[in-house]
Amino acid sequence: MTFYLTLVGGLFVAWFILVVLFAPHIPYHVERPLDATSEHFVRVLESACLVTLEDGNRLEVFTDGPQFYPAMLDAIRSAREAVNMECYIFQNGVIGTQFTEALVERARAGVQVRLVLDAIGSFGAVRQATARLCEAGCRVEQYQFPLWYRLHRLNNRTHRELLVVDGRVAFVGGAGVADWWFKGHRREAMWRDMMVRVEGPVVAQIQGVAAENWLECCGEIQTGPEVYKAPEPSGSVSAFALRSSPSDRATASRVLFQTIVESASTRCRISTPYFLPDQAFRQALVRTASRGVDVSVVVPGPKTDQKLVRLASRRLYGDLLKAGVRIFEYRPGMIHVKMLVVDDLWCVVGTTNIDNRSFEHNDEVNLVARDEATARRLSDDNERDIAASREITLKAWKRRPLFEKLIGSVVWLLERQQ
């Protein structure tokens, strides 16, 4: 028996390496140069990503859990008709209990409460909190529970973190529900992150994203007037919500990120917790920086939750640094911000990382805004993050420890799976 288990294990490892080595890379690139400030650029994004840029929205950026969690809880507690929530991470703890209690109270008051929790990312809450939620009248569904007949989709997770209340208010960003975003965890510093509160016509698009995986989980098509409201202008921001799922390899988020980065003319700011760009995206960053665009990337430093991913990421710095891309490693703790700002105008905030897992395997959601004020707000946070980071120079990168160079030649396999 041991022999056969070893044989099966060896065959699996061999298959995995072959897939990583020989699976084709799509050479993404833009057909011709684009001006991110033009109306033609808007038409390209709308058509290529199958979205509509909606005017009349109001966005409010919340920096870190002590700001965004109270705002999200206030929105839930004020719900009168419906709460729709989708989480990759929903963990028990201080903040998880507060969310559970708020949702239970609203359900008992007659509000329709629907939750989609990823069966793996939210495993602890699925086991412990679901019973109490359901007893109160909440409807809870697990996304992609690993049953035998869908093991082929085990690698597809919902990485989305979103909340929609009464079809009027939504929250989108990188944070799930867990104490490490609220007060730190196991003597580690609180994770750095952000969420955006949204009002206006684009909320209907975010509700549509929430409805997609509700349908996937239980087959129910949401049609009620409590979730789909007539659009009401609430501000001056133009925005759209981008859903992305691995129905094919050219996911919408991949198209968006490639197009918007290659269209930058003055500045491109990126912050991502997992930076494993494929060859095509690295070439896009190199081309953009080579045109004189100020390209900066903020990534985690040593205090990361994924040490091997960081080693694999650092292996890729060389060509980027040579082209003039500036890379900053955040020092105080884990940084989980997923943000892209181009030309101080276009902003992307959501759940997509700069890695193959987000681009090819996960269900993701992003809020895309064309707004100078939002760009300034995000850039201010980005500047503070840079000030708390160490810039990696080409000279320092070349002098990294021998162990890191050796292990990097192995962990590069993560580039296609992370």
| Strand 112-118 to 82-87 pairing | parallel
In a domain, residue 125? The reply is yes
Closest CA to 144 of 246, 74, 288, 44: 246
In a domain, residue 31? The reply is no
Given a contact cutoff of 8 angstroms between Cβ atoms, the answer to whether 341 and 376 are in contact is: no
Sign of the dihedral defined by the CA atoms of residues 124, 210, 49, 200, in that order: negative
Amino acid at 357: R
pLDDT in the model for residue 401: 87
CA distance 394 to 399: 9
pLDDT in the model for residue 22: 47
Given a contact cutoff of 8 angstroms between Cβ atoms, the answer to whether 112 and 83 are in contact is: yes
In a domain, residue 218? The reply is yes
In a domain, residue 287? The reply is yes
CA distance 346 to 201: 18
In a domain, residue 353? The reply is yes
In a domain, residue 101? The reply is yes
In a domain, residue 32? The reply is no
Enter the DSSP assignment of 177: B
Given a contact cutoff of 8 angstroms between Cβ atoms, the answer to whether 359 and 335 are in contact is: no
In a domain, residue 216? The reply is yes
At 258, list the tokens. 């490639």
Burial of 40 from C-beta contacts in 10 A (0-12 / 13-18 / 19+): exposed
CA atoms within 13 A on the CB side of 177: 31
CA distance 74 to 89: 20
E strands, 64-222, in order: 82-87, 112-118, 139-143, 162-165, 169-173, 194-199
pLDDT in the model for residue 357: 83
CA atoms within 13 A on the CB side of 161: 29
In CATH, what number is assigned to the domain containing residue 114? 3.30.870.10
pLDDT in the model for residue 21: 47
Reading the chain (418 residues) residue by residue, the pLDDT tens digits are 566 556 655 565 455 445 544 456 788 889 988 999 999 999 999 999 999 999 999 999 999 999 999 999 999 999 999 999 999 999 989 999 999 999 999 999 999 999 999 988 888 777 778 889 999 999 999 997 766 556 556 667 889 999 999 999 999 999 999 999 998 767 788 999 999 999 999 999 999 999 999 999 999 999 999 999 998 999 999 999 999 887 655 588 999 999 999 999 999 999 999 999 999 999 999 999 999 999 999 999 999 998 888 988 999 999 999 999 999 999 999 999 999 999 999 999 999 999 888 888 899 999 999 999 999 999 999 999 999 999 999 999 999 888 887 776 666 665 555 5
E strands, 255-403, in order: 267-271, 294-300, 326-330, 339-342, 346-350, 364-370, 389-392
Q: How far apart are the first and last CA of the chain?
A: 32
H or E, element range at 195: strand 194-199
> What domain range is 310 assigned to?
39-416
E strands, 247-376, in order: 267-271, 294-300, 326-330, 339-342, 346-350, 364-370
CA distance 303 to 308: 12
Burial of 368 from C-beta contacts in 10 A (0-12 / 13-18 / 19+): buried
Look at the chain and report how many structural domains it folds into. 1
